[in-house]
């Protein structure tokens, strides 16, 4: 029988960046329902598709971490908080998808769409930030070469061109009003004339 007394620690990270503390994670998964109006004036729903996953992470990197990391990505001659800020901006500006491990799941193909940091007199040696992340749906395309059409295939499908010269439109309402005729009387007067 298994011993369940061992604890499992989930290492929260963005790409290779592991933070001192993750204060908050907000996960968003939404769907869009497509609608089409019909003759009666109501919209009917006929399909639904998944929108890209969104994630918001609030985290902290300090200049004096509580525990040492074997490979500290924020180690620098300057402060850890400054180096963390530089790396976050660099990760965002690379515009390349990366993985994000949260307490709930592993997200793949994520990009950083927003980064907000705050500092005040009490947090000068701390980087407190919020990152907005969005999934990028990656697809691949393929070019398929079709065989050429047979000669004359389009001419059999098209109708022949008819030359009608200049055609002027007629105002049927005005002609009807001038004669005062209705229905069959108007038609009969046109056929005689």
Domains (range + CATH), the chain:
13-135 (2.40.30.200)
Maximum CA extent, the chain: 106
**Residue 96 pLDDT > 80:** yes
Q: What pLDDT does 165 receive?
A: 74
Q: What pLDDT does 146 receive?
A: 85
Q: What is the DSSP letter of 91?
A: H
CA distance 26 to 20: 18
**Residue 105 pLDDT > 80:** yes
Instruction: State the average pLDDT for the chain.
Output: 82
CA angle 115, 121, 123 (to 5 degrees): 50
Q: What pLDDT does 155 receive?
A: 53
Compare 3 and 44 and report the one with higher pLDDT: 44
CA distance 110 to 94: 12
pLDDT in tens, 24-80: 999 999 999 999 888 888 999 989 999 999 999 999 999 888 777 667 888 888 899
**Residue 1 pLDDT > 50:** no
Q: What's the start-to-end Cα distance of the chain, in Å?
A: 106
User: Contact, 60 vs 126, CB < 8 A?
Assistant: yes
User: Contact, 97 vs 110, CB < 8 A?
Assistant: yes
How much is the pTM? Answer: 0.64
CA angle 86, 87, 88 (to 5 degrees): 95
- For residue 83, the SS3 value is helix
pLDDT in tens, 107-127: 999 999 999 998 888 888 899
Burial label for 25, CB within 10 Å (0-12, 13-18, 19+), is: middle
Q: What pLDDT does 53 receive?
A: 96
Task: Using alpha carbons, select from 73, 76, 90, 94 the residue that is nearest to residue 136.
Answer: 94
């Amino acid at each position: 029988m298994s011993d369940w007394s061992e604890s499992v620690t989930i290492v929260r990270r963005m790409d290779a960046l592991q933070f001192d503390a993750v204060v908050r994670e907000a996960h968003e998964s939404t769907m869009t329902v497509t609608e089409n109006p019909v003759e009666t004036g109501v919209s009917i729903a006929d399909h639904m598709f998944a929108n890209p996953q969104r994630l918001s992470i609030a985290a902290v990197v300090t200049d004096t971490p509580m525990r040492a990391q074997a490979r500290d990505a924020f180690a620098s001659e300057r402060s850890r908080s400054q180096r963390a800020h530089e790396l976050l901006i660099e990760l965002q500006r690379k515009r390349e998808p990366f993985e994000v491990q949260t307490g709930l799941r592993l997200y793949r193909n994520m990009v950083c769409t927003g980064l907000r940091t705050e500092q005040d007199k009490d947090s000068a040696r701390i980087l407190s930030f919020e990152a907005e992340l969005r999934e990028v749906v990656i697809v691949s395309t393929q070019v398929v070469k079709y065989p050429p059409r047979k000669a004359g295939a389009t001419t059999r499908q098209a109708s022949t061109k008819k030359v009608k010269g200049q055609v002027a439109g007629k105002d049927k309402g005005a002609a009807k009003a001038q004669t005062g005729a209705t229905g069959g009387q108007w038609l009969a007067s046109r056929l005689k004339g």
